[in-house]
Amino acid sequence: MERKPVISTSIASIGYDELTQVLEVEFIKTGVYQYFNVPAPTHEALMTAPSHGGFLNTNIKGQFPCERL
């Protein structure tokens, strides 16, 4: 999956596959995680949020199943 670099203190890059609804997040310190069953509007909101890390912590972590790669 292709990830796009983002400006964040905790996240290096974010990728999304709309067909499978998999969100891939590369954290600066802890590596790459995939979040499953993430709707496209949630990904869009993440990408436009003023704080990617804040949005992820509030709206994605704990809300969607995830796996570390």
What pLDDT is stored for residue 1 in this prediction? 85
Name residue 66's amino acid.
Answer: C
Give the separation between CA 65 and CA 49, rounded to whole angstroms. Answer: 21
- Give me the tens of pLDDT residue by residue for the chain, a chain 69 residues long: 899 999 999 999 999 999 999 999 999 999 999 999 999 999 999 999 999 999 999 999 999 999 999
What pLDDT is stored for residue 25 in this prediction? 98
What pLDDT is stored for residue 22 in this prediction? 98
- Is this structure's pTM higher than 0.85? yes
Give the separation between CA 40 and CA 28, rounded to whole angstroms. Answer: 24
Give the separation between CA 49 and CA 33, rounded to whole angstroms. Answer: 19
Give the separation between CA 57 and CA 62, rounded to whole angstroms. Answer: 8
Q: How many CB atoms lie within 10 A of CB 68?
A: 9
What pLDDT is stored for residue 10 in this prediction? 95
